[in-house]
Amino acid sequence: MNGRKEKSGERIRVLVIDDEPGSRETLKDILEEEGYLVSTAGEWGDALEQMSREHVHIALLDIRLPGMNGVEVLERIRRESPDTAVIMITAYATLENSIRALNLGAYSYLTKPLNIDEVKVQIRRVVENLDLAAERDRLLLETKRWASQLQVVNEMTRGIIVSHDVKELLKVMYREMGEVVRYDDIVISLLDPDKQTIEEFRVDVEGVKARYLPGGKVLRDHAVGWVIRMQEPLITPSLLGNSPFEDERDRLSAGYRSRVILPLAMKGNAMGAVAFESREEGEYREDQLGLLRLIGRQLSVALENARLYEELLESKEALEVENVDLRTKVSDRYNFGNMVVESPEMKEIMRLVARVINSCSAVFLEGESGTGKELIAHCLHFQGPRKEKPFVVVNCGAIPENLLESELFGYEKGAFTGADRVKEGLFERANGGTFFLDEVDELSKALQVKLLRVLQDGEVRRLGAVTSKVLDVRIIAATNRDLKRLVEEKKFREDIFYRLHVYPIRIPPLRERREDIIPLAEHFLEKYRRRTPNRVKDFSSAARSALLRYDWPGNVRELEHVVEKSIHLADGKWIEPEDLGLKPGPESEDGEARWTLKVEREELMRKRVEEALKSHAGNRARAARELGIHRTQLYRYMKRYDIR
């Protein structure tokens, strides 16, 4: 034992308070041999006066003192020097006094004659407790300091996590971090993914400055590069030494004296580094590394968030541009000028569509399956004032009746077993736009009643809801059945029929508009041959005749399927009748006569073009003059008939 605290090395000061001089001196000599600083007092006033001048760690107090009871002195000591450990000594021990002394805070109780070994043991225990108390106080202080610093880091983290710009993030750090780390500036160096450049952001009292540095040089010659490569922090308490790093020599020349650099990484991938720089020497120490590493990790997360946010913005902008392009393409696709219409019947349909396109009235489309009812519905929406709003399509015959109601109208949470959330109905989703009800004749009577409310009042009510929601939706309905007959047969409500039948448009089947067959077939041929390596150019004359003779029970949809299939089956440049795989049905004499004549006319024009070009040795200008057409028209014929 050397009379010192184990942790701090501080000498232990002992005060012996006893009215017997012999006892005082004996204890003093023994304890000084143990290495303690010992002073003595023969009466209580002297003892208190000494304790007021200098801190006493341990007091050996005789319980019987002249002028004041030792227990009363103990009370004074505990009040005026609460950190002093008091060991009571008496030759007249009583249980009452012992209990009272211990209750007042005495460390222990010894009786005379004293056992010196016991005295030494008691004092050693006090010293050990003093060491433990000091360590406890130190840890408590350290904990409070860490808590305070973590609070600052937490506040800073909140600020930088919501900062989606590196410069703003740096400003938040510079403003908030001063309570945790001392610095004159902060530098973030971000590594480009290809490692060709380093983007450096420096913030100080004047603001944020950015520049680009060559990545290879930084990684090779700079302390920042070493930290990025090694993914280890680098503390430089003094920049005054002969540093091997170029950037540290530059910082010294700029007036900085100490520096710490921390790696920035995310999921094991190096992102760069952050440096704190000070104009004072010795500002950064090893014992700060724990907190600094935490700051580095938080900053890495914030920078990654900023990068992802920037990517998200770029993706959003790209999607917005793509959305505009797609809307334009959709609008162009359903533009009147781009639709394949040759027959008088379809031209009349387009005239009817044009008259109602800007209206909000319900439109009722009638026609066989595959005639193009949905195409007309698209045209009504995408060429009208609602084209920027939703276009929602529902095939009433494709969804089971028990699911259709919840799909159309939505439901509230708890509306039925399994309804664990609120679901928006399709009518709500179409708000502001157009709702296309295909195969509307398949609606049950119960759903017809609910649809009537939408048509009459413009309101929908979710399943389980107590209030309705007003919507602005244009209704387009379609059927391939005779809805009037269904009304007469009491299979469809009459009031719904008249609400839907505001503006009826009947789309004739393909067999009633044979003028459209060849233009549509050519349209589908051009559409699908782009997607295949097949060298098919056109239909042969015989194939065209076969197309015209066929009755097309599946209408335009069947025609598209036949053309797509024939492209794959054709062996050469021409699609032949056998490639179509059609079985001629009942012929329309008028339509066949009209289109036989047209095919013959096409064949005659092909031959005339070929002969004119041959007679003029391929000179297109002379051939056009002979034919009496403009040269551009000749080019069209050559492309159409695959004449080279």
Q: Is the pLDDT of residue 569 over 70?
A: yes
The pLDDT, as a whole number, for residue 338 is: 60
Take residue 71 and report the two structure tokens written for it.
Answer: 């227990």
pTM over 0.85: no
The pLDDT, as a whole number, for residue 589 is: 46
- Contacts (Cβ under 8 Å, ≥6 apart) of 152: 176, 177, 179, 180
Q: Is the pLDDT of residue 584 over 80?
A: no
**Percentage of the chain surpassing pLDDT 90?**
25
Identify the H or E element spanning 185. strand 185-191
The pLDDT, as a whole number, for residue 98 is: 67
Q: Name which of 132-136, 366-370, 459-463, 482-486 the model is least confident about.
A: 132-136
- Contacts (Cβ under 8 Å, ≥6 apart) of 190: 166, 198, 199, 200, 201, 264, 271, 272, 303
Of the candidates 35, 43, 41, 42, the one whose C-alpha atom is nearest the C-alpha of residue 9 is: 35
- More confidently predicted of 515 and 288: 515
Of the candidates 418, 421, 412, 427, the one whose C-alpha atom is nearest the C-alpha of residue 464 is: 412
The two most distant CA atoms of the chain are separated, in Å, by 150
- Average predicted confidence (pLDDT) for the chain: 83
Count CB neighbours of 391 within 10 A: 19
Q: Name which of 176-190, 216-230, 347-361, 553-567 the model is least confident about.
A: 176-190
- More confidently predicted of 319 and 523: 523
The pLDDT, as a whole number, for residue 601 is: 62
Q: What is the CA radius of gyration of the chain?
A: 48
Take residue 504 and report the two structure tokens written for it.
Answer: 């009826």
Q: Are 93 and 64 in contact (CB under 8 A)?
A: no
Take residue 602 and report the two structure tokens written for it.
Answer: 């096409």
**Percentage of the chain surpassing pLDDT 70?**
87
- More confidently predicted of 151 and 500: 500
CA atoms within 13 A on the CB side of 415: 18
Tens digit of each residue's pLDDT (9 = 90 or more) over 132-159: 877 777 777 766 666 665 666 666 666 5
- DSSP secondary-structure letter at 114? P
The pLDDT, as a whole number, for residue 591 is: 47
Q: Is the pLDDT of residue 588 over 50?
A: no
Positive or negative, the CA dihedral 511, 516, 519, 520 is negative
The residue written with tokens 């950015």 in the block is: 210
Tens digit of each residue's pLDDT (9 = 90 or more) over 231-271: 999 999 999 888 889 999 999 999 999 999 999 998 888 98
CA distance 140 to 365: 82
| Domains defined for the chain, CATH in brackets | 13-135 (3.40.50.2300), 162-309 (3.30.450.40), 336-508 (3.40.50.300), 512-640 (1.10.8.60)
Burial of 637 (0-12, 13-18, 19+ CB in 10 A): buried
For residue 36, which phi and psi values (nearest 5 degrees)?
-85, 155
For the chain, first and last CA: distance in Å?
A: 114
- Contacts (Cβ under 8 Å, ≥6 apart) of 142: none
Q: Name which of 190-199, 410-419, 459-468 the model is least confident about.
A: 190-199
Tens digit of each residue's pLDDT (9 = 90 or more) over 324-349: 555 555 555 555 556 788 888 988 98
Count CB neighbours of 492 within 10 A: 22
CA distance 114 to 311: 82
